[in-house]
Amino acid sequence: MPTHVSRWMQRSLLAAAVCACALNAVPSWAQDLRIALYADATGFDPHDTSDTLSYSVQSGIFERLFQFDREMKVIPVLATGYEANDDATEFTITLRQGVEFSDATPFNAAAAKANLDRLADQSLGLKRNSLFSMVDRVEILDDYRIKVVLKRPFGAMINTLAHPSAVMISPKALADHPSEDELRRNPVGTGPFEFAGWEPGRQIKLVKNPQYWKEGWPKVDSVVFYPTPEASTRVARLQAGEVDAVYPLPAELTQVVERNPKLGIARDPGIMQYFLAINNLKPALDDVRVRQAFNHAIDSRVWLRAVFGDMGTVATAPIADGVGFYAAQPEYAYDPDLARELLRQAGHADGLDLQLWTSNETSDVRAAQIFKQQLGQVGVRVSVVPMDAGARNERLWGNKDPESAQYDLYYGGWSPSTGEADWALRPVYATESWTPTSYNVAYYSNPEVDQDIQAALETADDEVRAAHYAKAQAQIWQDAPRVFLGNPDNVVGLTKGLNEVYMLADRSLVFDQANFE
């Protein structure tokens, strides 16, 4: 009997050993990554995309010349380096060798030129053409070097090339699908995953690209995205084990996930800065003392705690601290007495009556109530006007005549998708960007700021640019065209054991290095 047992045990051990060997030979068995998304994608041509969710899904299929890392630093991906001339009109870019698109087309200078030409061709009517309107032409220097020649100096060019729309699409796919409607359903890139199908409203599937140029990546065999618009349903899916990650996790549900021992969160700083824009053209509000008083009257910490569960940082400059060329400014301390004093000096001892416009989202209305209460304490009587997106588009962003703009205060946010100071400052603080041309809804105008923003673009010298941007930020901070609130963190919900799935500061989802422990 004992001998039988031992023989049986020997066999079992042998079998176990064989199994173990087999497992070792294939380092991991088929592993799927399942992600619940807050909406559905709109298509798979990044050149003709304007929403962050679609960019996120596309980032598994496509790669760009440059990209942002987790700290929002620009790193080369399909490029290996670049040189710029002094006045930032010519950028010579060296390309990575040995990279192929997933349809086996080689990636080279001709492929890069085809894509950049497409982005720059304003006649195509693609959503992101306007971002590349400064490109004059792209020259091929040799098989792996191109020169991008601009019509005017543009120091932020490399950051623009890191924008999620500036991807490299297979030239073969571009030739095979000349119609945009077809191309956006047949994406072919150099990324870690290949497109495997899209059932609108149900799922988007990507599978591993076996020829991916980064040795050993990706670690998962497929990624499936499930559009799940209702936030609590997204979290229920995570709790039930139907998905491995939810993008994004709203602040009010973070605790539910953190309390669950099987789940966790990935929390990263964001570069979206929230603000209370002040209509600088309105009488009373055109007085800098009044605007500074508002900055002292509102306690951003209370706002951050109530609306974002205290996850984030309060504003310390007119742009978020994760944005390139950020320069910290002295704090606007919460001080209702000082605020009342400033209002008295400006001749408003008996207060002001103002309209605060906001979206009709629950969390935005909640924020507006906080501002109403805090401004009320210094004698500013605020009425909150919630609006749907259509009404806001028409009455706020579409308003043609600045002088007749009706709003006094507007609660909103701005996220510079190129991750650096130009896109964080110019569209919202430059005089040329007054709505409806761009997004300076405060109708703020300071010629010195305009000059610095422009001068910073006209050089490729980072030290000179940093000096201009620091000066502009200090001046804007002083002028207080808005109440500077803060920069909430970006949060993703995850099952325990899943790593490297997180939100980049621009709110896009990163999953190309996802792996399970």
Partner 1 sequence: MLIHGLKRLLGMIPVLFTVSILVFAFIKLMPGDPARIYAGADASLEAVEAARHTLGLDRPLPMQYFDWLASLAQGDLGVTYRTRQPVSEVIGASFMPSLWLALASFCWSALAGIALGVFAARRRGRWQDYGAMGLAVSGISLPPFWLGLLLIQFVAVPFGVFATSGFERPLDLVLPAITLGSAVAAVMARFTRSAYLEAANEDYVRTARAKGLTQRMVVWKHTMRNALIPIVTMLGLQFGFLLSGSIVIETVFSWPGLGWLLIESIKSQDQPVVQSLVLLFVTMFLVINLAVDLLYGVINPTVRHT
The nearest distance, CB 508 to partner 1, in angstroms, is 13
In sequence order, what are the beta bridge partners of 384? 356
Indicate the residue among 50 and 313 with the shorter CB distance to partner 1: 50
Indicate the residue among 134 and 378 with the shorter CB distance to partner 1: 134
Indicate the residue among 272 and 378 with the shorter CB distance to partner 1: 272
The nearest distance, CB 337 to partner 1, in angstroms, is 38
CA dist., res. 498 & res. 517, Å (int): 6
The nearest distance, CB 128 to partner 1, in angstroms, is 8
Binding site for partner 1 (CB under 8 A): 39-40, 42-43, 50-51, 122, 125, 127, 129-130, 133, 180-181, 184-185, 199-203, 226-230, 232-233, 236-237, 239-242, 388-391, 393-395, 397-398, 414-415, 417, 423, 427, 436-439
Question: Where in 360-453 does DSSP place strands (E)?
Answer: 380-387, 409-414
CA dist., res. 116 & res. 133, Å (int): 11
- Find the farthest-apart pair of alpha carbons in the chain and give their distance in angstroms, rounded: 103
Q: What is the DSSP code string of 261-290?
A: TTEEEEEE---PEEEEEE-TTSTTTTSHHH
The nearest distance, CB 240 to partner 1, in angstroms, is 5
- Determine how many CB atoms are found less than 10 A away from the CB of residue 119: 24
Tokens of residue 31, six digits: 């592993």
Indicate the residue among 197 and 241 with the shorter CB distance to partner 1: 241
Omega prior to 248 cis, within 30 of 0: yes
What does residue 127 show for φ and ψ, rounded to 5 degrees? -60, -30
Q: What is the DSSP code string of 128-156?
A: TGGGGTTEEEEEEEETTEEEEEESS--TT
Indicate the residue among 332 and 423 with the shorter CB distance to partner 1: 423
Q: How long a stretch of residues is the chain?
A: 517
What does residue 182 show for φ and ψ, rounded to 5 degrees? -85, -40
In sequence order, what are the beta bridge partners of 508? none
The three-state secondary structure class of 366 is: helix
CA dist., res. 462 & res. 166, Å (int): 22
The nearest distance, CB 403 to partner 1, in angstroms, is 18
Tokens of residue 75, six digits: 């790193």
The nearest distance, CB 276 to partner 1, in angstroms, is 18
The nearest distance, CB 31 to partner 1, in angstroms, is 20
List the one residue out of 277, 249, 276 whose CA is nearest residue 263: 249
CA dist., res. 144 & res. 494, Å (int): 40
The nearest distance, CB 472 to partner 1, in angstroms, is 19
Indicate the residue among 236 and 338 with the shorter CB distance to partner 1: 236
Q: What is the DSSP code string of 20-54?
A: HHHHHHSSS---EEEEEESS----S-GGG---HHH
Indicate the residue among 218 and 493 with the shorter CB distance to partner 1: 493
Q: First vs last Cα of the chain: how many Å apart?
A: 42
Place of tokens 């173990």: 20
The nearest distance, CB 130 to partner 1, in angstroms, is 4
Indicate the residue among 10 and 133 with the shorter CB distance to partner 1: 133
CA dist., res. 149 & res. 353, Å (int): 52
Cα→Cα distances 91→122, 157, 429, Å? 20, 8, 27
What does residue 48 show for φ and ψ, rounded to 5 degrees? -120, 45
Indicate the residue among 127 and 147 with the shorter CB distance to partner 1: 127
The nearest distance, CB 329 to partner 1, in angstroms, is 24
The nearest distance, CB 399 to partner 1, in angstroms, is 11
The nearest distance, CB 188 to partner 1, in angstroms, is 18
Tokens of residue 501, six digits: 């799935």
Tokens of residue 414, six digits: 């701005």
Indicate the residue among 42 and 515 with the shorter CB distance to partner 1: 42
Indicate the residue among 236 and 311 with the shorter CB distance to partner 1: 236
Indicate the residue among 36 and 207 with the shorter CB distance to partner 1: 36
CA dist., res. 496 & res. 444, Å (int): 47
The nearest distance, CB 43 to partner 1, in angstroms, is 5
Indicate the residue among 232 and 406 with the shorter CB distance to partner 1: 232
What does residue 485 show for φ and ψ, rounded to 5 degrees? -100, -75
